[in-house]
Amino acid sequence: MTSGVEGYNSAGQVIFSETSYAGNFVGSFNTGGQKTGSFVDASLIGRILIHFLPQSISLYGGPKVTLDPNSGTVTWNYDIQVQGQGAPPIPSETIWYGGY
C-alpha cells in the first residue's frame, strides 16, 4: 500500500512530495525439514513478497523464498551445495510472510 504527502507554496506549486510503501505480515509457515516446498495464499496476488526469518538454527541461513504474484504461490528452497562432505540435515524453520 502506498501513502504519501505533498507540500504546496502559495502559488499552488508542489514544493515537496514524498511517497512511501508499507506492507503487512499476513501469516507464517514452517519449512518442516523439507528442502523445497510451496503453498498458495490468495491475499498475495498482485503484491510484492516480504518475509522475515526470526532466527536461523541452521548452517544455511534460511531458505530462498519467492512469490508468484499472478497465483499467490509462495515457494521456498534451501540452495544447498556441499562438496567433500555430507550435507547437514535441513532444518525446520518458521518464516513470517506478507506483502505490499
pLDDT in tens, 29-78: 999 999 999 999 999 999 999 888 876 665 666 789 999 999 999 999 98
Q: Are 24 and 100 a contacting pair, CB within 8 Å?
A: yes
Asked if the structure places residue 4 within a domain, the reply is no
Complete DSSP assignment for 58-89: SSS-S-EEEEETTTTEEEEE------SSPPPP
Using the CB atoms, write b or e for 51-74: b if 16+ within 10 Å.
Answer: bebeeeebebebbebebeeeebbb
Asked if the structure places residue 89 within a domain, the reply is yes
- Model pLDDT, residue 62: 76
Asked if the structure places residue 42 within a domain, the reply is yes
**Single pTM value for the model:** 0.71
Asked if the structure places residue 36 within a domain, the reply is yes
**Which tens digits make up the pLDDT trace of 9-21?**
888 888 878 776 6
- The domain in which residue 28 lies consists of 24-99
Asked if the structure places residue 18 within a domain, the reply is no
Asked if the structure places residue 50 within a domain, the reply is yes
pLDDT at residue 87 greater than cutoff 80: no
User: Amino acid identity, residue 57?
Assistant: I
Length of the chain (residues): 100
Q: How many domains does the chain have?
A: 1
